[in-house]
Structure 1
Amino acid sequence: MNSAIKSAIARIWEGYSEPLSLDEIAKSAILSRFHFSRVFRAATRVSPGRYLSAVRIYQAKRLLATTSMSVTDISLAVGFNSLGSFTNHFTDSVGTSPSRFRRMWTEGIRGTPQPEDEALPESGTITGTVTLPAGYATARVYIGAFDTPIIQRRPAAWTVVEAEAGTKARYCLPDVSPGQWFVRAVATADSVDPEPWTRRSLLLGDVDPVTVADRSTSMVGIALRPKRTTDLPILYAIPDLEAHRPGRPVRAAAGRTAEMAPRGR
């Protein structure tokens, strides 16, 4: 990966609480702001400003889950000057308000429940397979169709599947409204390493973008891979991929309630 983009991303993660400007981020990459913006978008699929915003919301999630800081103090700590702006942006990205996210985390709820909606009369389907990279034995995989490259906001549809080495796990996202969607996958995977403390890994997969038409089926193959430096933070509160009980099915969801991870361990 381009060292300039590495430097810029490091600057964003280090200075997300500051009022970082595009000029400052570009300076860390030793590039002009115009050339830097093009190169950054090509590497990450989003603008530097959107990447910075995603990092701020991600860090807010971390602080809500691991500290007793007030929502107001957290909003200031991650670079927001207005509590109202922070709350609106957090709720839009994560799928729930900061206060409710903290309560959910305390209660062991890791995913945002979906409202019970009717199936769309004019919709399509995204279906395909998921494969594991070499060196991994099994994985539990969350797959969703999002309206941005970032895993944020309520997905058009999502499901959770189990994947195994040497096979292609099938998935289906029904009732996806016509338009362009970014298919994103997040997985917790066990490697083939026999040492238990080295086995658990985060894998990601992405496809850009998928066009869905009325009553059509789009076939999309997803190849999971280890996380990269350029990968965007996961903002939407997805189900807990660690809390799986064998034999408990997880259904695809398109605005309907899928079976969520159990509350607590």
Structure 2
Amino acid sequence: MDEQTVHAVERAISFMRQNLADRITVDDMAQAAQFSKFYFTRLFQRVTGVSPARYLSALRLEKAMRLLLNSSSTVADISYQVGYNSPGTFSSRFRSSVGVSPITFRQLGGYTSHLAADSRVHRMDRLGATIRGSMRVTEGGRRGFTFVGLFRDPIPQGPPASCALLPGPGPFVLNDVPNGKWFVHAQSIAIGAEENVIVPKESADAPYVGSCGPIVMRRDASTIVVELLLRPQRTVDPPVLLAPVDVRSDAMRNFRAENVPDVVSVV
């Protein structure tokens, strides 16, 4: 992807972030990117993997996650600040994407207490297939707990069809993968930054992300091998709309200490 194209999409995303409380149209985004509406829509999809409207919706919820943790505003006030006209609609969208209600998200400090795959995936759709993979880290800095999940689309949101929590980047296995088209997403927490996953204190503490897809699982497939490259999240990457598992307990820290190697290989 050429640099000029990426910068155009970044201009549109910056415009979205600055105006989340307002009604934003595709025409507005295209004007910020300095392209025609129709060309911009195709361009944006190619760079980010999702449509401008879906990216904007994800940005609104990402901003809401931060406000719930960093402000004392009510849920209703936050819903208006991120562009929703109805607090009820906002709460419903938030719960379906993040996995918990806005109030519960705030009460839990931005974490979820457990890791669970989507129980709504019909048993008959599960093929008994497996996705095996490995992860590499592109830049320096030790990574700790790493979540890997299987999602229906490029935006990591809602309960995954299959998932795993690892003590650090490395090999992973996702079993009982259902039929269909899937995206694998990984998020790796910096060691020592477990307290501030959603709103890191410093850029070096921000989680690393990696993804691949679409992966098409058919009935004649048994095992698919993938590789994920973990790196700092870019402006054009879709927001991660997941409440991370709370890894701050002593038991989880001991799990990490016993299993994470002294050195994580760097590409």
Same fold (TM over 0.5): yes
- 1:134, distance to aligned residue in structure 2 (A): 4.2
- 1:115, distance to aligned residue in structure 2 (A): 7.4
CA distance in 1 between partners of 2:26 and 2:118 (Å): 41
AA aligned to 2:149 is G
CA contact (8 A) 1:119 1:175 kept: no
Go from structure 1 to structure 2 and tell me whether the alpha carbon gap of 1:177 and 1:153 turns closer, same or farther (over 3 Å shift): same
Q: Secondary structure at the match of 2:176?
A: strand
Go from structure 1 to structure 2 and tell me whether the alpha carbon gap of 1:234 and 1:174 turns closer, same or farther (over 3 Å shift): same
1:232 counterpart residue number: 238
Matching of residue 20 in structure 1 with residue 24 in structure 2 = yes
Go from structure 1 to structure 2 and tell me whether the alpha carbon gap of 1:116 and 1:94 turns closer, same or farther (over 3 Å shift): closer
Q: Which of 25, 39, 42 is residue 35 of structure 1 equivalent to?
A: 39
Q: Secondary structure at the match of 2:254?
A: coil
2:93 counterpart residue number: 89
Matching of residue 204 in structure 1 with residue 206 in structure 2 = no
CA distance in 2 between partners of 1:198 and 1:36 (Å): 30
2:151 counterpart residue number: 146
CA distance in 1 between partners of 2:10 and 2:122 (Å): 43
- 1:55, distance to aligned residue in structure 2 (A): 0.6
Go from structure 1 to structure 2 and tell me whether the alpha carbon gap of 1:176 and 1:68 turns closer, same or farther (over 3 Å shift): same
Gaps in structure 1 of 5+ consecutive residues: 192-196, 250-265
- 1:173, distance to aligned residue in structure 2 (A): 1.1
- 1:12, distance to aligned residue in structure 2 (A): 0.8
- 1:111, distance to aligned residue in structure 2 (A): 5.1
CA contact (8 A) 2:117 2:161 kept: no
CA distance in 2 between partners of 1:48 and 1:131 (Å): 30
CA root-mean-square deviation: 2.7
1:194 counterpart residue number: none
AA aligned to 2:59 is V
Q: Which of 154, 160, 166 is residue 165 of structure 2 equivalent to?
A: 160
AA aligned to 1:230 is V
- 1:138, distance to aligned residue in structure 2 (A): 4.0
CA contact (8 A) 2:132 2:223 kept: yes
- 1:112, distance to aligned residue in structure 2 (A): 5.5
- 1:43, distance to aligned residue in structure 2 (A): 0.7
CA contact (8 A) 2:145 2:256 kept: no
Matching of residue 127 in structure 1 with residue 128 in structure 2 = no
Which segment drifts farther, 120-129 or 83-92?
120-129
1:246 counterpart residue number: 254
- 1:190, distance to aligned residue in structure 2 (A): 5.5
AA aligned to 1:131 is R
Give deviations 1:73-108, integer Å, cap 9, x for gaps.
111111001122212211111112212222222xx7
Which segment drifts farther, 60-69 or 8-17?
60-69
- 1:58, distance to aligned residue in structure 2 (A): 0.7
Gaps in structure 2 of 5+ consecutive residues: 193-201, 258-267
Aligned residue pairs total 238
TM-score, scaled relative to structure 2: 0.80
Go from structure 1 to structure 2 and tell me whether the alpha carbon gap of 1:138 and 1:72 turns closer, same or farther (over 3 Å shift): closer
CA contact (8 A) 1:60 1:74 kept: yes
CA distance in 2 between partners of 1:18 and 1:3 (Å): 23
Q: Which of 113, 116, 119 is residue 114 of structure 1 equivalent to?
A: 116
CA distance in 2 between partners of 1:190 and 1:102 (Å): 23
CA distance in 1 between partners of 2:117 and 2:150 (Å): 17
CA contact (8 A) 1:141 1:186 kept: yes
2:178 counterpart residue number: 177
Go from structure 1 to structure 2 and tell me whether the alpha carbon gap of 1:97 and 1:190 turns closer, same or farther (over 3 Å shift): closer
Identity of aligned residues (%): 34
TM-score, scaled relative to structure 1: 0.80
AA aligned to 1:95 is G
Go from structure 1 to structure 2 and tell me whether the alpha carbon gap of 1:247 and 1:4 turns closer, same or farther (over 3 Å shift): closer
